Amino acid sequence: MTATILATQSFAGVNGPHGAPLAPRPDPQWWSAPIASVQGIRPADAERLSAHGLVTVGDLLTYIPFRFERYGGRAAIATAAIGDEVTIAATVVSIRMAPTRRRGLVTIRALVSDGTGNLEAVWFNQRHLLRTVSAGDQLMLRGTIGQGAPRTMTVRAHEISGKGGSQGLHTTGLVPVYAGSEALSSTRIREAVDRVRGYATTAPELLPAWIRERLSIMRYSDALMSVHFPRTMREATQGRRRLVLQELIELQLGLLMLRRQESDERPAPVIRGTGALSDPLRAGLPFSLTVHQERVLGEIRRDLRTGRPMRRLLQGDVGCGKTLVAALAMCDALECGVQAALLVPTETLAEQHIQTLDALFGPVGITPVLLTGKIPAAERERRLMALRTGTAEIVVGTQALLSEGVDFHELGLVIVDEQHRFGVTQRHALSERARDASGKAAHLLYMSATPIPRTLALTAYGELAVSTIRGRPAGRVPVETRWVREDQRDEAYTDVRAELRAGAQAYVICPLVEEGSAAEVKAATAEAERLQSGPFAEYAVGLVHGAMKSDAKRAAMAAFGRGEIDVLVATTVIEVGIDVPNASVILIEGADRFGLAQLHQLRGRVGRGQRPGWCVAFADPATEDGVRRLEAFTQTSDGFRLAEIDLQIRGEGSMMGVRQAGPTDLRYARLTRDRRELAQARHIARRVIREDPELATAQHRLLRRAVDERFASVTRLLEA
């Protein structure tokens, strides 16, 4: 497309908020036109916008500001008081550059007049103004009035009237501020958006009239104008609300369509337990299930009986008893003649689960098998044959369970521990693999000990049904947590030695090392040597890290469990699944480098026996976020509250992929502030799916296209 967009003619007699005429309504194809084709946008600016991810007119109009500067109306020079921040319209009388006492710093000074008086406008280190501003130019100036003869104004923003764009764009009213870069300022983005403001009318309207009326929201084109050029903050807020709701409706529809596709196309086995295994398993426990455990077990069992694939998240704080609930669900599956699989992210966690399930199922005659990538070939083939023939009823494994050649006789239930390691795409890959020989879908139960930001986000966005276990097992007390700075380290070591003398054991967790696993292993090894020759010389210091061979790692953990090692130095391989009741102390080095969820998981390794547990977080954080995390970590032991705080600090992360935190791939919505809109979007999406399951009607056609684009990666996976 080589034509140039004309953006200077009046638009049906309607003007923008700053009084500039809008462009005529062009053909809808201009929504996808390159920014370089817009009249008034220089090629160099178009290149910078493209490097910023803004390639088309639509990209530019959907790139909304993150805040607004509140500027008042115009003032006359004669009436502006010293100290006031004002906007004036004036004519340049003269302009010059003046040196300052500070070496290399210059000021640009322009004498201006508005007919009521004179003023000297002052800019710092903006030499280019000598080329762009000349005597006789009409300026809009925003800044603070200072003393002098004539009085001065330290200029905050300015624009040259009559040189394209809207008058007052940078200096009056509500001025949008965009996230820019060193090469592309917010001012340049603002000017580019102003050039295409008239083309907001070509924005595709995805939401039919009945949805807009039900939610009391404006049209999409009006929303874009309201977020870029609002006359009031209420108008800007209402415009953003429309964009948020549209985005959340798209997401909800996609998730519901994926779940419906699974339910409609692949039935699941009906699992209705008989009690043949679960009753004796319960009878052998030294305690009774809590009210919360019984409730969530009931929710899971209702799903298992429907004949439709269960997709449920079981979440609960560290040590709340999720594994026992999962084991009872496995009992139901085995009682109905189908197999159960437990998928975990690490080999260490798989081995820990095997020990736990052996203890639970051994008395009822069931022996779980382990499948990881490090099982010798001959033994692996023997175990695979047991899965294919059905003689292996329960399997625990890493992602090796998802590899080619792993087939089941009749797989009925898959449990995924630490589900936050998987994004939507990965979970649906698991759904594809989780089938038995007849093609039936297995039921999927995801477990998460502490909801990290993305887990919270996906839960609230409605992809999974949710069961929550609140509370702790009887007798479990919160772990005392201390934040210790470097100058208090020796005092903390003294307290740890006192605990060791009393017969307890301790973990020391080495900090994350950005260079990679090899550097992390080196740091852990060096720390173990330092502690053995220094603060804990009189005690046995052991070492475990992810790069160790399985046998060596297992031996080190077993020695620690038997009490032969007093202090275990480790990387985060012990983050989950490790249960040594005699370990009462955990020291976390560089604690500010960890996320809150991970810190809480690590803290959960202690205080699991008769001794009260305590956690020492060594850190001298250099960032405000690091301070916030540590303050929150020491002030609460509620994993759900910590997850909320972590969400606020780190962001939702990727909804579609594997990134666990950071910038969200949602453009407008934020879980921390848009929960009301989320509930509304979920309600609307459910109604749409009931009435038009495939979004095939004319009123939903554009909405279907947007959903397909958002879920393209998942759709490709399902079709593969």
- Least confident span in 257-261, 563-567, 612-616, 631-635: 257-261
Residue with more model confidence, 157 or 687: 687
What are the distances in angstroms from CA 365 to CA 359, 368, 415? 11, 10, 21
**How many Cα atoms occupy the beta-carbon half-sphere of 99 within 13 Å?**
4
Question: What mean pLDDT is predicted for residues 446-472?
Answer: 71
Residue 98: φ, ψ to 5°: -130, 135
Evaluated on CA atoms 273, 279, 285, 286, the torsion sign reads: positive
pLDDT band per the 50, 70, 90 thresholds, residue 321:
confident
Question: What mean pLDDT is predicted for residues 470-489?
Answer: 81
Q: What is the mean pLDDT of the chain?
A: 83
Written as one string, the DSSP assignment of 226-267 is HHHS-SSHHHHHHHHHHHHHHHHHHHHHHHHHHHHHHHHHS-
Residue with more model confidence, 415 or 658: 415
- Output the six-digit token pair for 269: 């086995």
Tell me what pLDDT residue 8 has: 31
Q: Which of 691, 693, 695, 649 is nearest to 672 (CA)?
A: 649
> Whats the size of the chain, residue-wise?
720
Asked if the model's pLDDT at residue 588 lies above 50, the reply is yes
pLDDT band per the 50, 70, 90 thresholds, residue 349:
confident
Q: Tens of pLDDT along 666-692?
A: 789 887 788 899 889 999 999 999 999
Q: Tens of pLDDT along 235-251?
A: 999 999 999 999 999 98
Tell me what pLDDT residue 206 has: 93
100 class by beta-carbon count within 10 Å (0-12 exposed, 13-18 middle, 19+ buried): exposed
Tell me what pLDDT residue 718 has: 42
Q: Kindly provide the residue ranges of all beta strands, DSSP E only, lying in 579-681, ordered along the sequence.
A: 583-588, 614-618
- Output the six-digit token pair for 515: 């260079």
Strand pairing partners for 416?
Answer: 343, 446
Question: What mean pLDDT is predicted for residues 606-614?
Answer: 84
SS (H, E, C) 573-600: HHCCCCCCCCEEEEEECCHHHCCHHHHH
- Least confident span in 248-257, 321-330, 518-527, 593-602: 518-527
pLDDT band per the 50, 70, 90 thresholds, residue 549:
confident
Tell me what pLDDT residue 21 has: 35
Question: What mean pLDDT is predicted for residues 528-550?
Answer: 89
The neighbour count for residue 359, using CB atoms within 10 Å, is 10
- Output the six-digit token pair for 680: 């509304």
Most confident of 86-90, 162-166, 218-222, 452-456: 218-222
pLDDT band per the 50, 70, 90 thresholds, residue 719:
very low
Asked if the model's pLDDT at residue 460 lies above 80, the reply is no
The owner of tokens 């990881």 is 372
AA letter at 307: G
Q: Which of 565, 435, 559, 454 is nearest to 500 (CA)?
A: 565
Q: Are strands 85-99 and 138-146 parallel, antiparallel or unpaired?
A: antiparallel
Helices (H) and strands (E) in the chain, counts: 23, 20
DSSP element (H, E) containing 175: strand 173-177
- Left, alpha or beta for 31 (phi > 0: left; psi -120 to 50: alpha)? alpha
Q: In the chain, what percentage of residues exceed pLDDT 90?
A: 39
Question: What mean pLDDT is predicted for residues 418-440?
Answer: 60
Asked if the model's pLDDT at residue 587 lies above 90, the reply is yes
Question: What mean pLDDT is predicted for residues 635-652?
Answer: 78
CA-atom Rg of the chain in angstroms: 32
The side-by-side arrangement of strands in the sheet containing 369-371 is: 369-371, 394-397, 339-343, 411-417, 443-448, 311-316, 465-469
- Output the six-digit token pair for 545: 């890290």
Asked if the model's pLDDT at residue 331 lies above 90, the reply is yes
Q: Tens of pLDDT along 88-146?
A: 989 999 999 988 877 778 899 999 999 899 999 999 988 889 988 989 888 889 888 98
Tell me what pLDDT residue 249 has: 94
- Please say whether the beta carbons of 506 and 568 come within 8 A: yes
- Please say whether the beta carbons of 488 and 452 come within 8 A: no
Q: Are strands 339-343 and 505-509 parallel, antiparallel or unpaired?
A: unpaired
- Least confident span in 65-69, 121-125, 373-377, 502-506: 373-377
- Please say whether the beta carbons of 228 and 176 come within 8 A: yes
Asked if the model's pLDDT at residue 343 lies above 70, the reply is yes
Tell me what pLDDT residue 16 has: 37
pLDDT band per the 50, 70, 90 thresholds, residue 434:
low
The owner of tokens 């890959």 is 429
Residue with more model confidence, 659 or 113: 113
Asked if the model's pLDDT at residue 22 lies above 50, the reply is no
- Please say whether the beta carbons of 1 and 37 come within 8 A: yes
- Please say whether the beta carbons of 142 and 86 come within 8 A: yes
DSSP element (H, E) containing 416: strand 411-417
List of domains in the chain: 1-66+178-203 (no CATH), 70-177 (2.40.50.140), 278-469 (3.40.50.300), 480-636 (3.40.50.300)
Asked if the model's pLDDT at residue 224 lies above 90, the reply is yes
Tell me what pLDDT residue 481 has: 94
pLDDT band per the 50, 70, 90 thresholds, residue 663:
very low
pLDDT band per the 50, 70, 90 thresholds, residue 17:
very low
- Least confident span in 139-153, 285-299, 648-662, 705-719: 648-662
Tell me what pLDDT residue 39 has: 84
What are the distances in angstroms from CA 229 to CA 16, 172, 236? 8, 11, 8
Most confident of 239-253, 338-352, 552-566, 576-590: 239-253
* Three-point CA angle 307, 309, 314, nearest 5°: 120
- Output the six-digit token pair for 114: 């508005």
Asked if the model's pLDDT at residue 574 lies above 80, the reply is no
Q: Tens of pLDDT along 273-287?
A: 999 999 999 999 888
Q: Which of 704, 682, 705 is nearest to 694 (CA)?
A: 704
